[in-house]
Chain A
Amino acid sequence: MEKNCFKSKIWISVVALLVAMPIFVVAFSWALPEHELWAHFSENILSDLISSTLILLLGVGVGVTLLGTVLAYLVVMVEFPGRKWLEWALFLPFAIPAYVLAFVYLGVFDYSGYAQVWMRETLGIPGFDIRAGSWAIILTFVLVFYPYVYMMTRASFKRQKINMIEAGRLLGVSPIRVFFKVSLPLARPAAAAGLLVTLMETLADFGVVSLFNYDTFTTAIYSAWGDFRSIEVAAQLASLLVLMAFFLIYFEKKARGQAKYYSANVANKKPYHATGVKGWLISLFVFGVFMLSFAMPMLQLVVWGYSSVADEWSAKYIDLIASTSILTITAALITVALATILALPRRCKQTSIWLKSVIRLATLGYALPGSVMAVGLLYGINQISIINIHFGGESINHIIYGSIALLLFAYVSRFMAIAYSSIEASAQQIKPVFTQSARLLGASRMRLIWQVYLPMMTPGILAGGLLVAVDVMKELPATYLLRPFGWDTLAIQTYELSAEGLFERAAIPALIMVVFGALLMSVFQVLDKKSSRST
């Protein structure tokens, strides 16, 4: 038994520490700090950065929690016209990368966008700067990220026993009170989990904030590195970001408290039926969110794409699609394989604080912007080369820079948390008795893993792989910095065109990405339905 634990520890530690390496590199930056430039940053920029980042987090947090929870409650608990397809359609914004939505909104609502032109000329409303203040960017983030909270709370509402709500109703309590007193408190852990993911995504975002010219830690890191050529300051700023992520995780744990998810008995019966005007008003609201977050931007993309396809489409798109696919598939496979090693049921995991901590570390990459991941890796490789040369060896820079290995490393570190949480959830369902009975029947550890654990974890592994694939495909900042020559992706093409204001042409690569993303998401939906039916 002791020996077994030792092996587990070796396996998990090697994988986890490797995946978490960029975080260590970033933290290591304080060992060789850059004082002068850091002083400049901390005196002039830091307080503004912190306040603008906090305003953004607060606004987005409140927004996604409200919108996501209300939408989830409506589609799960209330029957209203169009509910069935809207329940599914509300997931679709997942397929649109945040920066694509941002450039569509900018293209339409910017000073020179046709919405504002129309308002000025027809309604006589004076023009305004959509980039001023933070309301527009907050709204954009809320519309892109509400599906996280929606997804988590929806699952949680579905697990709530319908008779609990019926009991509330029979006691004469109004639907609104049942929502606040029964459903919402039970869904709180799920909402907190969704909120955590959203806030981390917001912290890590580079595309949206740079298109909106909004200063956050991420843009500051870029500026430290891009403008001042200081990897050290970039890494120092990044370590503050890691600190923020730790705080977020801590608060999520607190918000979750002792609450546990409630178990099954999934009923398709809806406790409430909204008919007549009420029903249509609810429909209109949910449909409105769907329109704003998916249908209208998509329509706009199609219109733009149609008008520019003749100019923009060329053979280079075959290359773009090929390199995007290769990177996406390879990264998803590696991430899932490593996440599975971390998530396999092991007795030692319950008791070992060490294992819990290294796994936590390995899944922290989600809070790190891709750019930091990239900076961390470059910095780390550089240090290794320096040490190597010092001992008479050769620089390893040339081997690494010319290959996609570093980029894949960044993807794996960055998206480990997504794969892990999905796979871990399915591993959690493997009760200890399965292990025990397999062992008593004489199964070796290998046989246990291949014939019992892996088949039972398959739904989680597939779902995790799909989610990682969607994220890798649209990943921007790390790809931007680490891609070797000739490895441009659809995301890069989209960003470069839209950063120059060429929205119509940017619509082409964006559309291709959205179509692929939607395909992957619908496979995920099918799997999700299947697995919820079989349990």
Chain B
Amino acid sequence: MLSVNNLSVNFGEQEVLSNFNLDLKQGEIFALLGKSGSGKSTALRFIAGLEQANNGSVEIDGVQLSVDGEHSVQPELREIGMVFQDYALFPHMNIEKNISFGINHLSKSAQRKQVLELLAMIGLEGSEDKYPHQLSGGEQQRVSLARALAPEPKILLMDEPFSSLDKSHKDHLVLQVRQILKKTNTTSILVTHDKDEANSLADKVGIIQNKQLTIN
């Protein structure tokens, strides 16, 4: 359902990633490993339409989103969800408002219903009136996941989502996230530098080395 072709990324003059190709099936979870500066985040942000690249195209369900490194469809219209490293929850909105931000086209009651379902799924029932700063890092991360999943995106992108959590929380959360993604059958890409994290979350792991992507 997703195919990325011939993506290449430069940092300044230097090429860090070339001829990156990736095909994912519906519901597949893919983890992208690489050192910092390997261009893995840029690749992810290119798929989201947030950054441009030297070259490359993105296609979802047969629709061309980006061609030759330029975006033909803007991020707002891509139906792609993203979870950021520092969560990016809106600090002035409560949890309910945060989660329903992307589904404001639905009726109030439908929004409410979906928020409650998602909260139950991430194990944060009863937190809808709290504000982000009242939650722990792991809880914020789960809310951020719920917010990204609420509009039922075609693809979920996760950019180092666990890197600001401590180890004991992380292991548990990684498994929980995998369950949620499997349950919702969401095609996902995780970017990380942690091998264990990649292996326990993903169906398929790719690694960027010497500008090239190898998938095992």
Question: Which residues of A line the B interface, CB within 8 A?
Answer: 1, 431, 433-434, 436-444, 447, 451-452, 455-456, 458, 534
What CA separation (Å) do A437 and B48 show in the bound complex?
10
Contact in complex: A441, B147 (CB < 8 Å): yes
Interfacial residues of chain B within 49-99, with CB under 8 A of chain A in the complex: 50, 71, 74-82, 84, 86, 88, 90-93
B133 cross-chain contacts in A, Cβ below 8 A: 534
- Shortest distance between the CB of B152 and any CB in chain A (Å): 12
Known contacts A436-B75, A436-B82; is A441 also within 8 Å of B88 by CB? no
The tally of residues in B whose CB lies under 8 Å from a CB in A reads: 26
Given contacts A433-B88, A452-B90, contact A440 B101 (CB under 8 A): no
A-B contact count (CB 8 A): 60
Q: Which chain B positions have C-beta within 8 A of A447?
A: 104
B206 within 8 A of A: no
| Assembled-state Cα–Cα distance A447/B102 (Å) | 11
Best-buried of A433, A438, A444 by chain B (most CB within 10 Å): A433
Given A436-B82, A441-B102, A452-B90, 14 more A-B residue pairs with CB atoms under 8 Å apart are A433-B88, A436-B88, A437-B88, A437-B148, A439-B74, A440-B78, A440-B148, A441-B151, A443-B101, A444-B76, A451-B101, A455-B92, A455-B93, A458-B92
* Minimal beta-carbon separation of A506 from chain B (angstroms): 45
| Pairwise interchain contact B92-A442, C-beta atoms closer than 8 A | no
Contact across chains for A433 and B101 when beta carbons are under 8 A apart: no
Q: Which of B88, B104, B133, B151 has most chain A Cβ within 10 Å?
A: B88
Closest 3 CB pairs of A and B: A441-B102, A433-B88, A455-B92
| Contact across chains for A439 and B88 when beta carbons are under 8 A apart | no
Contact residues in B for A452 (Cβ distance below 8 Å): 90
Partner of A437, one of B78, B79, B82, B91: B82
Which A residues lie within 8 Å of B86 (CB)?
431, 433
Q: Give CA–CA (A183, B147) in the complex, Å.
A: 42
Hey, which chain B residues are within 8 Å of A442, CB to CB?
A: 76-77, 79, 102, 151
Q: Is there contact, CB below 8 Å, between A439 and B76?
A: yes
Asked whether B92 lies within 8 Å of A436 as measured between CB atoms, the reply is no
The answer to whether A434 and B81 touch across the interface, beta carbons within 8 angstroms, is: no
- Is B84's CB under 8 angstroms from A437's CB? yes
Kindly identify, within residues 97 to 126 of chain B, every residue whose CB is under 8 Å from any CB belonging to chain A: 101-102, 104
SS class, residues of chain A in contact with chain B: helix
Bound CA–CA A447/B74 (angstroms): 16
Distance of A444 Cα from B101 Cα, bound (Å): 12
B interface, CB within 8 angstroms of A: 48, 50, 71, 74-82, 84, 86, 88, 90-93, 101-102, 104, 133, 147-148, 151
> Taking CB as reference atom, which chain A residue is nearest B147?
A441
Tell me how far the C-beta of B205 lies from the nearest C-beta in chain A, rounded to whole angstroms.
Answer: 24
Assembly CA distance A247 to B92 (angstroms): 40
Q: Is there contact, CB below 8 Å, between B82 and A438?
A: no
Least CB distance from B160 to A in Å reads: 12
21 contacts between A and B (CB under 8 A): A433-B88, A436-B48, A436-B50, A436-B75, A436-B82, A437-B147, A439-B50, A439-B74, A440-B76, A440-B78, A440-B80, A441-B101, A441-B151, A442-B79, A443-B101, A447-B104, A452-B90, A455-B93, A456-B90, A456-B91, A534-B91
Q: Is B84 in contact with A436, judged by CB distance below 8 angstroms?
A: yes
Q: Given A441-B151, A443-B76, A456–B102 Cβ distance below 8 Å?
A: no
- B51 and chain A: residue at smallest CB distance: A436
Residues of B within 8 A of A456 (CB): 90-92
A447 to B105, CA, bound (A): 12
Point out the residues of chain A lying under 8 angstroms from B80, CB to CB. 440
Nearest CB of A to B5, in Å: 22
Residues of the A chain whose Cβ atoms lie less than 8 Å from the Cβ of B82: 436-437, 440
Query: Does B81 lie within 8 Å of A440, measured CB to CB?
Result: yes
Evaluate contact between A431 and B75: CB separation under 8 angstroms. no
Whole-angstrom distance from the CB of A202 to the nearest CB of chain B? 39
Residues in A whose Cβ lies below 8 Å from that of B79: 442
In the assembled complex, how far is the CB of residue A462 from the closest CB belonging to chain B, in whole angstroms?
14
Distance A437 CA – B81 CA, assembled complex (angstroms)? 8
Contact B91 A440 (CB under 8 A): no
A438 to B100, CA, bound (A): 11
Q: Which residues of A contact B88 (CB under 8 A)?
A: 431, 433-434, 436-437
- Report the minimum CB–CB distance from A294 to chain B (whole Å): 36
Instruction: Report the nearest A residue to B45, measured CB to CB.
Output: A436
What distance in Å separates the Cβ of B82 from its nearest Cβ neighbour in chain A?
A: 5
Q: Which residue of B lies closest to A455 (CB)?
A: B92
From residue B117, how far is it (CB to closest CB) to chain A in Å? 18
Measured CB to CB, the nearest residue on chain A to B91 is A456
B148 proximity list for chain A (CB < 8 A): 437, 440-441
Distance between B89 CB and nearest chain A CB, rounded to angstroms: 8
Chain A residues near B78: list those with CB within 8 A: 440
Q: Tell me the bound Cα distance from A453 to B202 in angstroms.
A: 35
The CA-CA distance from A443 to B102 in the complex, in Å, is 7
Instruction: Give chain A nearest CB distance to B212 CB in angstroms.
Output: 28
Determine how close the nearest CB of chain B comes to the CB of A268; give it in whole angstroms: 19
